[in-house]
Amino acid sequence: MILGGKSWPGWIARTAGATAVWLGGGLVAVRERFAAGLAIREALAEREPGNAGWQRDLYVSHGKLGGLALAEGDRARALVSLHEAERVMAALCARWPDHPGFARDLAAVRQIIAGSQDKGSDAG
């Protein structure tokens, strides 16, 4: 999907596009909104580390910020967020190894990270 002149992964384009329309602003407003959501989710996840739902929400927030950074062309910032999402999801998979959704999410973020690192090596 094309948003702001860039091709985005479908899920981040839908989320960022809807947020930008709702806020009436551009990508800066979207980034600020995603960062605010991350701060809330970090506090909740820290308060109750055994709450799988809050931990997964934390993963989603890191993933949104990583996807947005990729869309903006900031690979370094994207990889920091994506690796944090990977860390959160890996911990969930370790705790609930038979959960198919967690395994799928971990594979997805790892695929995005690998693709981002591949693009980085092509550019350099």
Q: How many independent structural domains does the chain possess?
A: 1
Domain containing 73 equals 26-123
Q: Is the pTM of this model over 0.85?
A: no
Residue 110 maps to a domain = yes
Instruction: Give the CATH number for residue 32.
Output: 1.25.40
Share of residues in the chain with pLDDT > 70 (%): 74
- At 104-118, the pLDDT tens digits run 999 999 999 998 887
Helix or strand run (H / E) with residue 2: strand 2-3
In this structure, the number of other CB atoms found within 10 A of the CB of residue 86 comes to: 22
